[in-house]
Amino acid sequence: MGLLSKKDTKLITDPLADNNPITIQVLGICSALAITAELEASIVMSISVLFVMGVGNVVISLMRNIIPSKIRIIAQLIVVATLVIIVDLVLKAFAYELSKTLSVFVGLIITNCIIMGRFEAFALGNGPWRSFLDGIGNALGYAVILIIVGFFRELLGSGTLLGIPVLGDPIEKTGLYAFGYENNGFMLLSPMALIVVGIIIWVQRTRNKALVED
């Protein structure tokens, strides 16, 4: 770890668990939950956010001394919007089907509170390299939750992972289905995303009592 000092490593590892953007900071829930019915969509969304966060944090951090504080929100929004347009066009070019599934939620990365929150809280006051690490760390924390939720929703909801059946064939009754197992179609509906995240929060706070709210 010659490149990363201890403090820098903490920037990446902290948001993964104890300061997770979704379960602890309550940021970025908006665009996260609607697209987690499939694991693939969750992964693509995570990568998009990773790109926007990493690059955006560096850009804002480089510009932090020339942005007048009164119009900083508009300036930040323009930077994010530009990056999101790049992501959207790339998705449309190389993964058209997926960009249809994600529909407006790619655009909603712009108002993803994690991004604005990290700009405000970190990039405006720190140098580019540390901001980059902070962006990557928070985006990874977001990705972890998204992928866990996507994993359980796809596995329990349709019995597949990344579109590949893993529990056997529900029509021919092979694998688990031979024992009378049924897919829970309810997991594919949007309210279950909220409940799954609620359960993740429950587990996390049971393991780490320091996070419990009064």
Partner 1 sequence: MEHVELFFKSIFIDNMVFATFLGMCSYLAVSKKVSTAVGLGAAVIFVLAITVPLNWLLDQYVLQPGALTWLGPEYADYDLSFLSFIMFIATIATMVQLVEIVVEKFSPSLYNSLGIFLPLIAVNCAILGGSLFMQSREIATLGLALNYGIGSGIGWFLAILAIAAIREKIRYSAVPPALRGLGITFIITGLMAIGFMSFGGMLTGGDEGAKKEETVVEVTTDNVEKKELANNTKINE
Site of interaction with partner 1 (CB under 8 A):
23, 26-34, 73-74, 77-78, 81-82, 84-85, 88-89, 103-104, 107-108, 110-113, 116, 180, 182, 185, 189-195, 197-199, 201-202, 205-206, 209, 212-214
Q: How far is the CB of 113 from partner 1 (least distance, A)?
A: 4
Q: How far is the CB of 128 from partner 1 (least distance, A)?
A: 23
CA distance 23 to 35: 17
Nearer to partner 1, 133 or 196 (CB): 196
CA distance 189 to 166: 20
User: Which residues is 44 bridged to in the sheet?
Assistant: none
User: Which residues is 165 bridged to in the sheet?
Assistant: 160
Nearer to partner 1, 4 or 78 (CB): 78
β-strands 160-161, 164-165: how paired?
antiparallel
Nearer to partner 1, 5 or 190 (CB): 190
Q: How far is the CB of 204 from partner 1 (least distance, A)?
A: 8
Q: How far is the CB of 173 from partner 1 (least distance, A)?
A: 8
Residue by residue, DSSP assigns 65-86 as TTS-GGGHHHHHHHHHHHHHHH
Question: What DSSP character marks residue 17?
Answer: T
Amino acid code (one letter) for 206: T
Nearer to partner 1, 163 or 191 (CB): 191
Structure tokens at 156: 């329990």
* Residue (of 121, 129, 125) closest to 25 by Cα position: 121
Nearer to partner 1, 28 or 137 (CB): 28
CA distance 32 to 203: 19
How many Å is the Cα radius of gyration of the chain?
19
Q: How far is the CB of 199 from partner 1 (least distance, A)?
A: 8
Q: How far is the CB of 4 from partner 1 (least distance, A)?
A: 30
Nearer to partner 1, 97 or 182 (CB): 182
